[in-house]
Every structure is written in structure tokens, then in C-alpha cells.
Amino acid sequence: MRDLLGGKGANVAEMTRVLGARRVPAGFTITTEACVAYMRRGGTEPEGLDEQVSDALGRLEEEAGKRLGDPNDPVLVSVRSGARESMPGMLDSILNLGLNDRSVEGLARTTGNERFAWDSYRRFLQMFANVCRGVPGEAIEDAIAARKRAAGVEEDTELETADLRALVDDFKRLFSERTGEEFPQDPLEQLRQAIRAVFDSWLGDRAVEYRRINRIPDEWGTAVNVQRMVFGNKGDSSCSGVAFSRDEITGGPEPSGDFLVNAQGEDVVSGVRTPRDLAELREAMPEAHRELMEILRRLESHYRDMQDTEFTVEEGRLYMLQTRSAKRPAQAAVRFAVDAVEEGLVTRQQALLTVDAGALDALLHPTFGRDADYEVLARGVNASPGAAKGEIVFTAESAVAAAEAGRQVVLVRPFTEADDVAGFFAARGIITSEGGKASHAALVARGMGKPAVCGVGELEVDLASGEARVNGTVLHEGDLIALDGTRGVITTEDVPLVDPEMDEAFEKVLGWADEVRTLGVRTNADTPEDALRAREFGAEGIGLCRTEHMFMAADRQPKMRTMIMARTEEARRTALAELLPHQQQDFEGLFEVMAGLPVTIRLLDPPLHEFLPDVEEVAQEVERARIERTPDLEDLERMLERVHEVSETNPMLGTRGCRLGILHPEIYEMQVQAIVRAALAVRERSGAAPHLEIMIPLVAYEMELVYMRKLVERVVADEGGADLELTVGTMIELPRACFVADRIASVADFFSFGTNDLTQTALGFSRDDAERGFLGRYRDERILDRSPFETLDRPGVGWLVRLAAWTGREAKPDLKLGICGEHGGDPESIAFFQLAGLDYVSCSPYRVPIARVAAAQAAARDGE
Ligand code: PEP
Ligand code: MG
């Protein structure tokens, strides 16, 4: 009942059922619905709340056998927040509620511990003043410091009863000075104000910001848990602590945690005193330790997951205050999954569901050390995960040169383009001041598994002067820079890096994922190296080979340019003939790695001008050649003219994809020739060729596909490839294609959703600019909670995907359906593709393991 009771409330209630009422202090939960009603009424308690609270309180008092505020023997309560999802430290809590000038004496008498009673009272006053009435923490700390000075002591714990009594007076005075009211002595009034304060904390700045970052909806509200206090600070047979049912860092079988003798819970977490390792509890309180160990096992087997608990021992008696699933690093998640299955605690499927698929990235890339302490220089988009560090270089050429000289470098650019790809290979990581998750830098970096932080708004890269500036710091080539692409931060500090391990346990979990999942997992790869890596990670084929990348290498680009510069078909064909062997060689490499598996090859997609130099640059060169009267003037002028000719106002909506193939069929012909020749050559050499899937990009009309299909079939026949396993299909990346998917399906063997372009065209958001532009503001204003380029926009773009899948299969029941946009590696989007009935997802090599686990989770949940 987590939605209604919040995580804490639901867990405490359930834990009480599992462990029995004696183990868990009595209490009640005010629902999240009450908080929502309170917010709706503009901060007024909903009707009936008061009566229900006093009812529940009556039962709590009955169970405790004591009354709140009883001057002789009072029960005290804690009032804690508890949202559906944990928001650690963001919402308010109040402890020791129910103390006043009279009940404090009663508490002193019944516990025989005057100091404890007054210490509890002053703690309550402190929290109440701060949390319920906004008395600033500094004013409170000042009062404590003054009191310590007066008593001549250093530590809070050295204050004697008389000092604590005096401190209570100080706080009461402070309270009335700051609020203009007396501190409320009536426990019911204290409770009312505390409940209100917890509700209000839901709308506090801290909480709002936390929710924004963690994508928790504002509408949920928090529950309020009122629970009888037990005391870990009643002397040496009492303690408070936190305990994980297994090692919280490694996931190993030994429970871990911290505790403090003679202390309350917040002392353990606040860091005021250094807590002791849980293992030492065995010596300090053997009986409580034994019980705790047994309880941890019981909770684990009940919840079938690793638990994170809070406990208190009050005069030798162990109480459990809270339990929840433990947050854990990827390493521990994998270890737990494997051990839990071996111990018979969970099934493989259940074990898979305990793993956070997205977090597995950490096991595939180096990361900043867990305890790394460094100052963030600037933040940007977390474009490609992992961490890296090295000397700054500003150009791909210097990256290559430095790497050849054995130096580790980080490529820092305003943005990157095709020419920079060699620099990516050479660099450890990439930083750009522009671009988002779908920018060239991000795509290429993710494909290669290089960490990248993009769109660092505060970074100004001045290539002309060879320096970069960030908030007043000037960086030069050769300066050290480190980046964490998982978090999207950069720093100039020499942060230690930790290497990833793909260990046996991880392999095992991936194996189970393969048993459970129904979605296929392929990879987006354009080189044999990427393809091989993806195979090692478990890819079952290539879902997208972007052939344009093959023309960007240094030895191809000039030929590609000649081809584009050519004015006649004949000249173009001559240039293409030179490109053909290169293209064939590239395919052979890929096909060898993927023999026997499906390989989807997309024919040339981007607008031609992407292969030409920048207009400005050529114009400057022409100018120079004119002044210096150099002999290449004519060539340069021709180039400038051609660049002008092919450049478009909206290239992303321009002559690209199949439009290019229709305009210049000879380009696609050459590509198909290369594919067929490579497949035949590989089959000849190794006896097996891949299953070829030739994919036509950016199709909007079925006639485009009819045209292209004819071309492909003709060339395949001409090249003697008729007996190859070869199908022809299309990318679905335009809204129109989704609307007329049945027509397109009638001429396609498969669809592959290009959700990058589909998102761009459905939303009218530029995939290159939106993330570093207005999307940040959209998130701040809560119009969106995440980038639609990262997680598929289910109601909008997702609807188009569903529509196309449905109508496409209606026209052709055996139509194969895949997705090769970046969403193919995003766990949440993968869950959607499962529901939409796709056959496979395709993602960059490093995301393949994540996709395998996410697909298994999606299948498991779908099955449920
Ligand atoms: C897409 O648009 O989703 C896609 C996979 O193609 P590209 O990113 O190359 O445009
Ligand atoms: Mg596309």
C-alpha cells in the first residue's frame, strides 16, 4: 500500500505483521491522500483529520500503556514523513514529541535518568522550533555553543542536567522571540503542528528540487508516520543503528551497518559521533546482535530483496523502526541477485527484478572512485557514461598526435562533426560546450564507449586563441581535465578512476536475462571493432549500420567529396567506383564478425553537405586564394559554389535519406553492390554470410520504398546475389510513415523505428539543439520531466510507434519490427517496446548488457 501509506508507512505496517507487534513500536500513518487534500485546500487540514488522529493516538496509547504528555509516565512519539519513493533527508521529521515542562519530570522519574529526560526535551524543542516554526538552525547552534562555553565543555554529551535545563529555557526564549508565541505545552497542539510541518515540507524548496532531479511527481504528497519513541540513549545497554541485510557496498553475505551505544538514531547518521561497525555489536550486545541477524534474514526472505533497516536497542530490548529495499551500487546488485538465487531466496526472474538495469553502466565503464572528493568545475549533459581524465586537446589532430606519443587526452570542442571522429578514438573522453544527448559527439562517444559530457553551457571554447574559459578559469592545451559522463560533470582535479569488471556474477545474471526476455537485442555498429565488442556483450546481430560513417574516415572523405562535387552522373559514377572497394572492405569486416546473424544496413542517410567543408571556411580560402593568386583558386571557387548549392535551410528536413537515393540512385546502387560483393566474398571465405537486411531511411510514401526496392532487387540480381538471404525494409522515422504504415508494410519486409528522427519530427524539436536549449527550462518549469530524446515520449511518439506496429502488422502479419534509435538502450523505453510488440531493440554496444536485463525485466513484468 505504498502509494497510500508511503514507503515508510507501508513497510512499517508490513514489518509489524512479519515480526509481530512487540518488535515494532506502535504507531499509525496519515495517508498521502490526506497530504494531497491538505495541499488542495491551500494548507488547511482536511475535515475529520483531527478526530481520526486522536482516535489512532488513543490506540497507540493503549498499546503502549502510557499517555502522550502524561506528567507521570509519558509516551513520546516521532512524527516522520514518508513518500512513495524515498527522498532521503528532504522531508522533515520530529522526535520526542509529547514532552513539556511537566512530562519531562515524569520521564526523568520513570527512567530514573534525569539527564536523559532533559536531553530529550531540549532535542525536541530544537527540532520543533526549527522544523515546525522555521527558527534558523544557526540561532539554535549559537545557543548550544554559548551554553557549552558557559559550562566550559566542548561536546554536547558533556553538558550536565543543569546545563540542559538551562538550554531548554534558552530555546523557549528563542522560540518566543522568533515566533512571537509561547512554545506549545499541549502535546496535541504539538502533534497538530508537527503533522502540518511534515505536510508543508513536501512543498519546501529542497524537496521540490529533489523531486525535479529524481522525476518524482509533485502530486504524490507525503504520508506522516506517528510512532511511539523507543530510546537508544538510555545508557550502556541501549543503542541505535542502521543495518543492511548484506554488505551494502559489495553485496557480500555479511550484514553491514553502523551503531552507537547510548545514542539516538540521528546521532548515527548526523556524523557528530563516529559510529561503530555493526560487527562490533556482537561483542557489545550479544543477544540483541543475534536477534538482529535473525530478523534481517527474515525480512530479506519476506521482501525477497536486500534490506536497509533502522533499529534501536532500548535497555537490552531490540526494536525495528524501519525497513526498505537497500539502494546499492551495481556491483552489489549483481552479487545479491546471484547469491539470492543460490540461497533459494528468489527465483531467477525475481532476482532480475531487483537489479536496476540503468545502473549497470557502472560495471562497463571506468568511474570516479566512490569516495572521490572533488570540486565540480561545470555541469553539462551526461551524454555518454563513464569517467575519464587527461590533458586537454582542442582538435582531433592534436588528440591523435598526443595519443600516438602515448599521452592521455580529453578532447574539448564547441561541438564535433564527422572530421573529428579520429580524435574520438584517440581521446579518453569528450567534452563539448554545445549539443545534447542526440548530438554527434554524444552518439559517436556512446557508440565507442567513450565518456562524454556535452552541452556544458558555461564552457567557452575559443579555438582561435587555444583556450577554454569556464566561470573565470582559463584552461589551456595540456592542462588536466577530468569528466564524469554518467553524472555530466567536469573538474580540473586529478580524481582517481576505478576500472570496470565484467565478472562471473554479471555474466550469470545476463544469462538469466536471456532466458527470460522475449525481445531480441541487437547493436548499432558501423565498424568490425564495435561489432565485435557488441558480440562480446551479447548482441544478436546488427540493428543499424549507419553507412555514412564509413565515408568519414580520412582516406574516404576526399573521394566522397569528389563524388558530391561532381556535376554529372558520369563523373559521380567514376568517383563512386573508387569508393566501392572501401565500402566493400568495410562490409566484409562487419559480415565476418556477424556471420549467421542478421545485419541491418542502412543506405546513405545524411544530407550531402555534411561531407563538405564549412561554407565559411571555404569562403575564407577563396578570399585568400584570390589575394595570393594561388593556382587552386578555380577549384576552390567551384567548391564554394557547390557547397552553396547543396546546403539547405533545414537540412534535417532536406535532401537526405531515400530522397538522396531517388535523386542520385547511383549512390545507393554502389552501396548495394558493395554489400552483395562483401557478402559473397565472406560466404566464399568462411562458409557463412549474415542475413542481410537492407534498410531505406526516411521513407514517408510507400512509392519511395517501391522505387528503392526495385533498385535494390535489380542490383542484387545483377551482382549474382539472388541466393543470398536478403530482405528489404525501411526505417519508420516520420509521422506520415506511422499513419500510412499499412501501405508501407505492403512493400516492406521489416520496419525499424528511428525514434531519434521520429521524436524530432513528431515534436518538432531539433535533436541537435533542443537539449542544450529550451529543454532545461522545460524541466525546471516541469513541463517535461526528462528529455524525450532519452526516454521515449510514450503518449506522443509512443502512440505513433504503436499505431505503426499495429497497422503495419495488420497489413503484413509477419512484418519484423525493431527499434534502432537511442531509446533502444533506455530501460524505460525498452519496457514500452515490449508492450508495443516489437521483435527487437538495437542499441550502442555498451548498452547491450543493459538492454538484455531491461528486456528481461520488461518480459517478466509483462508476464505478470
Ligand atoms: C533515428 O533516427 O532514430 C536513427 C536511428 O537514425 P539516425 O540517428 O542515424 O538518424
Ligand atoms: Mg534517423
697-716 residue pLDDT tens: 999 999 999 999 999 999 99
Q: Is 755 in the pocket of ligand 1 (CB under 6 A)?
A: yes
> Can you tell me the mean pLDDT for 275-300?
94
Q: Is the pLDDT score of 554 beyond 80?
A: no
User: What atom in ligand 1 is closest to the CA of residue 821?
Assistant: 3
- Whole-number Å distance, alpha carbon 754 to ligand 2 midpoint, is 5
Helix, strand or coil for residue 456?
Answer: coil
Q: Are strands 467-470 and 473-476 parallel, antiparallel or unpaired?
A: antiparallel
Ligand 1 neighbourhood includes 671 CB (under 6 angstroms): no
3-class secondary structure, 389: strand
Cell of 366: 571506468
Catalytic residue, candidates 239, 545, 820, 843 = 820
Banded pLDDT at 270 (limits 50, 70, 90): low
Q: Please work out, in degrees rounded to the nearest 5, the angle formed at the alpha carbon of residue 561 by the alpha carbons of 556 and 562.
A: 100
Torsions phi, psi for 773 (to 5 deg): -100, -115
3-state DSSP assignment of residue 786: coil
Beta bridge partners of 521: 841
**Dist. CA 749 → ligand 1 center (Å):** 19
Task: Kindly state if the Cβ of 607 falls inside 6 Å of ligand 1.
Answer: no
The set of cell numbers assigned to 484 is 564524469
Catalytic residue among 289, 365, 440, 664: 440
User: What is the per-residue pLDDT for 338?
Assistant: 96
The pLDDT confidence band at residue 164, using thresholds 50, 70 and 90, is very high
Phi and psi, residue 139, nearest 5° = -60, -40
Across the chain, mean pLDDT equals 91
Q: Which residue has the higher pLDDT, 500 or 579?
A: 579
| Residue 35 appears among annotated catalytic residues | no
In angstroms, the Cα distances linking 54 to 61, 560, 637 are: 10, 80, 87
CA 606 / ligand 2 centre spacing (Å): 8
- Cβ neighbors of 511 (< 8 A, separation 6 or more) are none
Told to judge if 820 belongs to the known catalytic residues of this protein, a careful annotator would answer: yes
43, pLDDT greater than 90: no
Query: How far, in Å, CA of 16 to CA of 31, rounded?
Result: 18
Q: Is a pLDDT exceeding 80 seen at residue 322?
A: yes
Quickly state the pLDDT bin for 635 (edges 50, 70, 90): confident
Nearest-5° Cα angle at 783, 780 to 787: 80
Pocket of ligand 1 contains residue 820 by CB under 6 Å: yes
In angstroms, what CA-CA distances link 342 with 336, 347, 580? 10, 9, 54
Q: Is 734 close to ligand 1, i.e. is its CB under 6 Å away?
A: no
Sequence-distant (6+) residues with CB within 8 A of 182 are 172, 175, 176
In angstroms, what is the span from residue 488 Cα to ligand 2's centroid?
Answer: 25
Mean pLDDT of 640-668: 92
Band (pLDDT 50/70/90 cuts) for residue 438 is: low
Task: Tell me the CA–centroid distance for residue 547 and ligand 2, in Å.
Answer: 12
Ligand 1 mutation pick, 659, 757, 841, max ligand atoms within 8 A of CB: 757
3-state secondary structure 155-220: CHHHCCHHHHHHHHHHHHHHHHHHHCCCCCCCHHHHHHHHHHHHHHHHCCHHHHHHHHHHCCCHHH
pLDDT value of position 262: 87
User: Which of 609 and 720 is assigned the larger pLDDT?
Assistant: 720
Cell of 174: 528563542
Ligand 1 site, residue 818, Cβ cutoff 6 A: no
The residue to mutate among 820, 826, 833, having the most atoms of ligand 1 within 8 angstroms of its beta carbon, is 820
- The one-letter amino acid code at 37 reads A
Distance from Cα 757 to the centre of ligand 2, integer Å: 5
Residue 491, ligand 1, Cβ within 6 A: no
Ligand 1 atom with minimal separation from the 754 CA: 3
One-letter amino acid at 11 equals N
Cβ 787 under 6 angstroms from ligand 1: no
pLDDT of residue 278: 92
CB-ligand 1 contact for 821 (6 Å cutoff) = yes
pLDDT value at residue 271 = 55
Q: Which three cell numbers stand for residue 372?
A: 572521490
> How much distance in Å is there from the Cα of 723 to the middle of ligand 1?
30
CA distance 615 to 636: 11
CB of 436 sitting under 6 A from ligand 1: no
d(CA 2, CA 295): 22
- Whether residue 733 contacts residue 757, with contact meaning beta carbons closer than 8 Å, is answered with yes
Beta strands in 84-175 (DSSP E): 93-97
Burial tier of 46 (Cβ tally within 10 Å: 0-12, 13-18, 19+): middle
List, for residues 137-150, the tens digit of each pLDDT value. Answer: 888 888 999 999 99
Backbone phi, psi, residue 727, to 5°: -125, 165
* Among 203, 200, 194, 263, residue whose Cα is nearest residue 225: 194
* pLDDT for 793: 97
**CA-closest residue to ligand 1 atom 1:** 754
Q: Element (H or E) spanning 259, and its range?
A: strand 256-261
Q: From atom 10 of ligand 1, which residue's Cα is the shortest distance away? A: 757
Is any atom of ligand 1 closer than 6 Å to the C-beta of 533?
no
Which ligand 1 atom sits nearest the alpha carbon of residue 820? Answer: 5
Ligand 1 atom closest to the CA of 760, numbered from 1:
2
Q: Is the pLDDT of residue 122 over 60?
A: yes
| pLDDT value for 425 | 84
Query: Which of the four pLDDT bands, split at 50, 70 and 90, describes residue 269?
Result: low
Q: In which residue are the cell numbers 510512532 written?
A: 227
Q: Give distance in angstroms: CA of 431 to centre of ligand 2.
A: 24
Cα dihedral 329, 6, 53, 132, rounded to 10, equals 60
Non-local (6+) Cβ contacts of 48 within 8 A are none
Give CA–CA dist 311/257, Å, rounded.
Answer: 11
Is the minimum distance from the CB of 275 to ligand 1 under 6 angstroms?
Answer: no
**Ligand 2 centroid to 8 CA: how many Å?**
45
Confidence of residue 235 (pLDDT cuts 50, 70, 90): confident
Between CA 282 and CA 261 the distance in angstroms is: 13
Q: How far apart are CA 186 and CA 506, in angstroms?
A: 57
pLDDT in tens, 460-481: 999 888 899 998 899 999 999 9
How many CA atoms, within 13 angstroms, populate the side-chain half-sphere of residue 230?
25
pLDDT in tens, 169-183: 999 999 999 999 999
CA distance 111 to 113: 5
Among 600, 731, 844, which residue has the most ligand 1 atoms within 8 Å of its CB, making it the best to mutate?
A: 731
> Which numbered atom of ligand 1 lies nearest the CA of 438?
8
Closest protein CA for atom 4 of ligand 1: 754
What string of DSSP letters covers 270-281?
H-SSPPEEGGGH
Q: Worst-scoring range by mean pLDDT, 45-59, 218-232, 261-275, 773-787?
A: 261-275
Q: pLDDT at position 73, please?
A: 85
Residue nearest to atom 6 of ligand 1 (CA): 754
Question: What is the Cα–Cα distance from 155 to 150, expressed in whole angstroms?
Answer: 12
Which ligand has an atom closest to residue 442 CA?
A: 1
Range of 112-121, 417-426, 577-586 with top mean pLDDT: 577-586
Structure-model confidence comparison of residues 542 and 383, the more confident one: 542
Q: Hey, CA dihedral for 715, 719, 723, 727, is it positive or negative? A: negative
The Å distance, Cα 643 to ligand 1 centre, comes to: 24
CA 755 to ligand 1: nearest atom: 3
CA 584 to ligand 2 center in whole angstroms? 23
Q: In this structure, are residues 407 and 427 in contact, taking their beta carbons and an 8 Å threshold?
A: no
**Grid cell digits, residue 288:** 540483541
Q: Which atom of ligand 1 is nearest to the CA of 443?
A: 8
Ligand 1 within 6 A of CB of 410: no
Helix (H, G, I), strand (E, B) or coil at 443: helix
DSSP state of 639: H
Q: What pLDDT, on a 0 to 100 scale, did the predictor assign at position 501?
A: 62
Asked if residue 97 lies in contact with residue 190, where contact means CB atoms within 8 angstroms, the answer is: yes
> What gap in Å lies between CA 257 and CA 278, rounded to an integer?
5
Closest ligand 1 atom to 697 CA: 6
> Rounded CA gap, 170 and 145, in Å?
12
Examine the pLDDT at 519 and tell me if it is beyond 90: yes
Distance (Å, rounded) from C-alpha 132 to C-alpha 181?
13
Closest Cα to atom 8 of ligand 1: 756
Closest atom of ligand 1 to 544 CA is 5
Q: Measure the CA–CA gap between 412 and 429, rounded to whole angstroms.
A: 9
